[in-house]
């Protein structure tokens, strides 16, 4: 489970400036900002602590980054069946065109290609809408002719037509599967097909349900439903063989036996596609808590599947931040206290929350669903029974958060916050409140609660609402505990009241106002995290309206939401948390549907129009992502890695072209 890179509350308001590092006893500036186009800004991050690693550890990090990048093409193909063909054709044009590069058409072509690189395909990474090119068919045809570029007719038409307009469609009336362009299912597969196919599958042990469908594409062959498994020798086999090659090398320099065993199981899973091996791997990975290097690699998050079965390919390579991890480990040690004192029904509480580990890490490289747009926190594994029996790992991506946090304000805070007191509180405590909310969301939120005996998994019972409700539940856990004196007692919070206020102000402001800048006027909310934030904020506003817990006010012709009673709002958050946990624990789909559709989907169009108008004066893009550092090995004549250095490129297009050259592991049609 991932916490998207919004810093929970107000990353929307940040504009990049430089941060500094010390080198050779001179203070030099590391420039975070690289460029901005369309609605995204491209940033850079440093890798603190890399130079302090041993040569063997550096070698391990290098191999893991290579393994991750070797699967990069998988994410493109998963996102849409024409993505690889389109990307490669446009890259060929970009590298070979020697005509007029000052024209508006060329500049729009360049932006379109950069948007594809940023989103791993022709659909927006957050809204899921298909990009509309700012150039004509005739212009692209001319570019192809002048650069001798080939692209099949269907892929060419997909750039311009009004088909496959949503990568992930969550509007059931349009067909969850047929209405989604995501390439997890054949173009003729229906929701009924998916339900019938996976509904007929039974796990050997019902108490340990397998993750059916996680690593496969469902298609029809001769009228029969068939899974094309992502494995060596199967679908995506060429890329997976490259991943295996680098994982084998990583196993050879593992930090300890447990880590080596986990590598062995992951390699076996990639070779066989066996879901029991996937579970065995997740248990081994979860229980590998020693060592300074960790990683995420495989088909993991199911947000991109409207049915919640298929895992998107992603990888994150992590180096432990020793100082911050020591400070935050105290939260994991108190996880049972938080569970026992949660405002949910006793029957829905875990009696023994086990194996929670929490670390702040520094990212050394990312790929797939985590790049260029990255999460800021991750909690895995996703399997409920493994989490209950063996625990989970939570990480906060410290250097990613720092890259955002070292930026200055764009002025959006002053525009959308109600009062000077609210602004001052955000500037004083906002960063810490964000970090604490991230930690509570990942460590406590995703680990909390249990499903009633006999109730199916959330993807079966909650269906297309599962991700939204899980993120809302985790957010609510964090919100409920941020004003708690417990955080002060264990040394994490300096001021419970102040931290609670700034977190509540920011969450309501973002959920009801500022996140609307990410939407086009008239759009409903589709993305699960955005739905969850509006759901929580809108529900609390409505339930507290009679007592003016949250008040909608107008000042100088502008709309604001002002919290009048923070204690009452915390009680409301607790009530909603209790209800969402009940819905999940009991598998109450009708209640889930009513909650999300009533509060999380529809947008107040007049308010949206106002917010977009107020936002026009700001030039900072609402979305951010990163150029990855490049690890450069020193290799002797026998092929042994002697050392690894980190370099920090600053050209987004060049990195994408380099990746295309070095890590094109799949054919254009799979």
Q: What are 490-542's pLDDT values in tens digits?
A: 999 999 999 999 999 999 999 999 999 989 999 999 889 999 999 999 999 99
Cβ atoms 268, 32 nearer than 8 A = no
460 domain residue, yes or no:
yes
475 domain residue, yes or no:
yes
Cβ atoms 329, 340 nearer than 8 A = no
HEC states along 618-635?
Answer: CCCCCEEEEECCEEEEEE
User: CA 497, CA 567: separation in Å to the nearest integer?
Assistant: 10
Residue 21 has pLDDT above 70, yes or no: no
What pLDDT sits at residue 410? 66
3-state class (DSSP) for residue 374: coil
What pLDDT sits at residue 1? 75
Radius of gyration of the chain (CA): 24
Length of the chain: 670
Read off the pLDDT of residues 617-634 as tens digits, 9 standing for 90 and up: 998 888 999 999 999 999
pLDDT band at 357 (very low <50, low <70, confident <90, very high): confident
The DSSP result for 209-266, as a single string, is ---TTTTEEEEEETTEEEEEEBSTTSBTHHHHHHHHHHHHHHHHT-SSHHHHHHHHHH
What pLDDT sits at residue 657? 98
Residue 153 has pLDDT above 50, yes or no: yes
- Residue range 228-238: mean pLDDT, rounded: 98
- Residue range 194-213: mean pLDDT, rounded: 96
What pLDDT sits at residue 326? 77
Read off the pLDDT of residues 576-612 as tens digits, 9 standing for 90 and up: 999 999 999 999 999 999 999 999 999 999 999 999 9
What is the percent of the chain where pLDDT is above 70? 95
3-state class (DSSP) for residue 552: strand
User: CA 373, CA 364: separation in Å to the nearest integer?
Assistant: 15
Q: Are strands 377-380 and 392-397 parallel, antiparallel or unpaired?
A: antiparallel
Instruction: State phi, psi for 573 to the nearest 5 degrees.
Output: -60, -40
pLDDT band at 22 (very low <50, low <70, confident <90, very high): very low
Read off the pLDDT of residues 92-146 as tens digits, 9 standing for 90 and up: 999 999 999 999 999 999 999 999 999 999 999 999 999 999 999 999 999 999 9
Read off the pLDDT of residues 376-424 as tens digits, 9 standing for 90 and up: 989 999 999 999 999 999 899 999 988 887 655 568 999 999 999 999 9
Instruction: State phi, psi for 187 to the nearest 5 degrees.
Output: -60, -20
Read off the pLDDT of residues 293-319 as tens digits, 9 standing for 90 and up: 999 999 999 999 999 999 999 999 999
Any bridge partners for residue 354, and if so which? Answer: none
224 domain residue, yes or no:
no
What pLDDT sits at residue 4? 58
Q: Which residue's structure tokens are 């250095």? A: 645
Residue 16 has pLDDT above 60, yes or no: no
What pLDDT sits at residue 17? 27
- Residue range 242-250: mean pLDDT, rounded: 98
What pLDDT sits at residue 327? 72
538 domain residue, yes or no:
yes
User: CA 631, CA 629: separation in Å to the nearest integer?
Assistant: 7
Q: What letters, b where the CB count within 10 A reaches 16 and e where it falls short, cover 118-134?
A: bbbbbbbbbbbbbbebe
Structure-model confidence comparison of residues 447 and 249, the more confident one: 249
Give the DSSP H or E segment for 42. strand 40-44
User: What domain range includes position 531?
Assistant: 2-48+321-625
Residue 103: partners with Cβ closer than 8 Å, 6 or more residues away: none
421 domain residue, yes or no:
yes
Residue 14 has pLDDT above 60, yes or no: no
Q: Considering its fold, how many domains does the chain have in total?
A: 1
662 domain residue, yes or no:
no
CA atoms 110, 112, 118, 121: torsion sign: negative
């Amino acid at each position: 489970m991932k916490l998207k890179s919004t810093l929970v509350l107000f990353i929307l308001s940040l504009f990049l400036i430089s941060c500094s590092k010390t080198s050779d006893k001179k203070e030099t500036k590391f420039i975070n900002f690289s460029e901005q186009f369309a609605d995204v800004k491209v940033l850079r991050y440093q890798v603190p602590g890399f130079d302090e690693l041993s040569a063997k550890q550096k070698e391990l990090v290098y191999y893991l980054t290579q393994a991750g990048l070797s699967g990069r093409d998988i994410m493109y193909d998963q996102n849409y069946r024409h993505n690889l063909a389109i990307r490669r054709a446009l890259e060929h044009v970009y590298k070979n065109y020697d005509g007029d590069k000052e024209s508006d058409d060329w500049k729009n072509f360049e932006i379109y290609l950069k948007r594809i690189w940023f989103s791993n395909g022709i659909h927006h990474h957050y809204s899921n809408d298909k990009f509309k090119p700012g150039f004509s068919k005739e212009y692209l045809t001319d570019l192809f002719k002048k650069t001798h570029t080939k692209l099949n007719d269907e892929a060419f038409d997909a750039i311009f037509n009004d088909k496959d307009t949503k990568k992930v469609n969550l509007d059931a009336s349009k067909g969850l599967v047929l209405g989604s362009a995501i390439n997890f299912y054949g173009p003729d597969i229906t929701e009924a097909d998916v339900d019938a196919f996976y509904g007929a599958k039974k796990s050997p042990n019902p108490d340990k349900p397998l993750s059916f469908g996680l690593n496969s594409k469902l298609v029809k062959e001769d009228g029969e439903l068939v899974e094309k498994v992502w494995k060596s020798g199967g679908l995506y086999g060429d890329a997976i063989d490259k991943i295996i090659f680098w994982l084998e090398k990583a196993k050879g320099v593992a930090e300890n036996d447990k880590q080596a065993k986990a590598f062995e199981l992951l390699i076996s899973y990639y070779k066989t596609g066996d879901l029991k091996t996937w579970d065995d791997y997740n248990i081994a990975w979860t229980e590998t808590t020693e060592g300074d290097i960790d990683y995420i690699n495989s088909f993991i998050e199911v947000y991109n599947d409207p049915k919640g079965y298929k895992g998107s390919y992603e990888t994150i390579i992590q180096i432990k931040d020793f100082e911050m991890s020591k400070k935050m480990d105290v939260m994991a040690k108190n996880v049972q206290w938080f569970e026992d004192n949660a405002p949910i029904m006793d029957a829905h509480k875990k009696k023994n929350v086990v194996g929670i580990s929490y670390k702040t890490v520094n990212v050394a490289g990312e790929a797939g669903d985590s790049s260029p747009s990255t999460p800021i926190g991750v909690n895995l594994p996703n399997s409920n029974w493994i989490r209950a029996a063996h625990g989970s790992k939570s990480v906060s991506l410290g250097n990613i958060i720092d890259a955002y946090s070292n930026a200055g304000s764009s002025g959006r805070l002053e525009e959308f916050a109600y009062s000077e007191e609210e602004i001052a509180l955000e500037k004083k405590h906002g960063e810490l409140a964000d970090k604490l909310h991230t930690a509570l969301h990942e460590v406590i939120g995703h680990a909390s609660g249990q499903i009633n005996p006999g109730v199916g998994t959330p993807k079966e019972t909650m269906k297309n609402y599962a991700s939204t409700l899980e993120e809302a539940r985790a957010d609510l856990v964090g919100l409920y505990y941020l004003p708690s004196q417990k955080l002060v007692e264990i040394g994490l919070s300096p001021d419970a009241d102040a931290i609670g206020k700034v977190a509540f102000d920011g969450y309501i402001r973002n959920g009801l106002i500022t996140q609307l800048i990410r939407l086009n006027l008239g759009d409903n909310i589709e993305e699960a995290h955005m739905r969850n934030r509006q759901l929580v904020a809108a529900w609390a506003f409505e339930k507290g309206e009679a007592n003016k817990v949250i008040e909608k006010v107008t000042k100088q012709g502008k709309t604001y939401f002002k919290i009048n009673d923070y204690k009452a709002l915390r009680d409301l958050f607790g009530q909603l948390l209790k209800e969402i946990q009940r819905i999940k624990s009991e598998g109450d789909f009708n209640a889930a549907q009513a909650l999300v559709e009533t509060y999380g989907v529809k947008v107040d169009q007049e308010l949206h129009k106002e917010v977009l108008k107020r936002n026009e004066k700001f030039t900072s893009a609402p979305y951010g992502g990163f150029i990855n550092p490049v690890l450069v090995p020193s290799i002797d004549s026998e092929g042994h890695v002697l050392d690894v250095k980190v370099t920090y490129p600053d050209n987004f297009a060049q990195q994408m072209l380099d990746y295309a050259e070095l890590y094109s592991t799949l054919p254009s049609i799979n």
